[in-house]
Chain A
Amino acid sequence: MNKKRKYIKWILYGMLIIYGLFTLFPFLWAVSASFKTYKEITGGGLNLIPKQPTIQAFNKLFMIDPNFLRWVINSFFICTIGTFINVFFNSMAGYALARLNFKGKHFVYYGVLISIMVPGQVLLIPNYLIVKSLGLLNSYNAIIIPAAVNATYIVMMRQFYINFPKDIEEAAAIDGLGRLGTFLRISMPLARPAIATQAVFIFLGFWNEFLKPKLYLSDPSKYTLTVGIQSMMSRYSGITQWDEVMAASLISLLPILVIYTVLNKYFMQGIRMDGEK
């Protein structure tokens, strides 16, 4: 029995390791290519470790490419502002739906639920026309404003505040804090775990978004990193500089990796929350 158990365990470990290699394989090649010379990449050969390791690709991106640094900054700008606005608006709406009583509250809540279910494809064209008529084309606002609220996280924040004891807020109110003061000074800080969870996913969503920046931003210096990387494809008369493209792809992964390692706990919470719906 014991021997059989061990045997099974080895099979399981084997599967895990094989799947791990399978996951890492593309990334290892991307890292490898970004440190190779362009000649070595196109020359073929199966050496994962570059023959003459070089940081030329990174150099070209940051020193020579006129736009690359801009794209990184643009992405950071949109993500930070977008996440900040989202956290506030979602939390306020969730809080109101959980804690405040007024006519039409349930109607609003169902509206929020419905808006989760509407497929993005249907909204794409009307949203474009609305953004255009508001004169927001080719601006960061075109990406931030329509995505300033995320219905999923309104529902999550509502759930959080429903389950959260009222006492502390009431104590603050008795001490003379108004509704907004209570919300900003007491309720928001107490919701830190829920806020961290939504912030992580909203940031990731903005950072990785491709379609909207592609559609709304026409000026290459305004591109986000995702659109920028795509525009690097075959930009030199049909030839793709794989060393640069791979280096750029890895750079786009770095901030997310940092956030993921620091806030891993909240990542898993977010997914669990999704899984329970």
Chain B
Amino acid sequence: MATGRFLLKRALQGVFVIWGVVTVVFLLRFVTPGNPITFVAPLDASQALRQQIAAELGLNRPIYVQYVDYLASLLQGDMGYSYISGTAASTRIFNRLPATLELAIAATVVAVCLSIPLGVVSATHRHQPADYGATGFSLAGISTPNFWLGIMLVLVFAVQFGLFPTSRRVVGFLPAIEMLFTEGSVDGLVTWLAHITLPAITLGTYFTALITRLTRSGMLDELGKTYIRASRAKGLPETLVRYKHALRNTLIPVITVVGLQLGTLIGGAVITEAVFAWPGLGTLVINAINARDWPMIQGSLIVIGAGFVIVNLLVDALYASLNPQVANE
């Protein structure tokens, strides 16, 4: 019951966060230099044509009218139309969402699968070669710029050895799964995996390094605590002590960080998307900003904001289940 109230409160806060994002972004358009007409009309367009286009796009109406109209449309699920393409912003954004989620989740899976074992090994073998290896990897991972990493991975594993395609997303995960179940063919899944591997590693490596370090320090902290000594004194097997007690408590801050990082990744991994021509939300937002395509910018940020809110809600739910005291607080 307490957990339910806690999550409801968090969800309501999330709605206000999204409204705040909408409002701030909406107001930003009026203080940001650059006019969307620059991109809609040719540079040599006459002032008459510019005004005509501005009128057609509703840009010549007062700010408050535009704002109220926008909020009213938003409540009906209408995010407006892209100034550049003339198509519904929501359609374009939601078309990009699967690619973004696939990449974000794949990078997170890469990170979690590698980092937690690495962090645990590193902590349990402190000052041994395994520890030095893991901390060295973490340092390298955190220090390496991912545009360089992405390009190097492509040059080595795609161009030199031909093990992976260089770029692009040829098939989505869900269509690949559908192909598996309807046609019994793994080709779609293999193609999807081939195309997502390098981008996921590129995006997930920093994340891996970060969580490895976090896990290592958390485990070291937990393993030094009194309850662990008591558990060992009671004669509990070491594996049980490490993985049931110490790791469980270590994972609480780790989950928080994973959730925050996943929220960030839903905002789009612009560099990785650019290097791998991955059609995600990140490049869509950047291109929209460069073109001052405000309906696309606003719509994208609403979706990203909602993504953050949802991920944080899930983290809170997980946190509450791991530590019920959180809900009571």
Q: Do A and B bind each other?
A: no
| Residue positions of B touching A, CB distance < 8 A | none
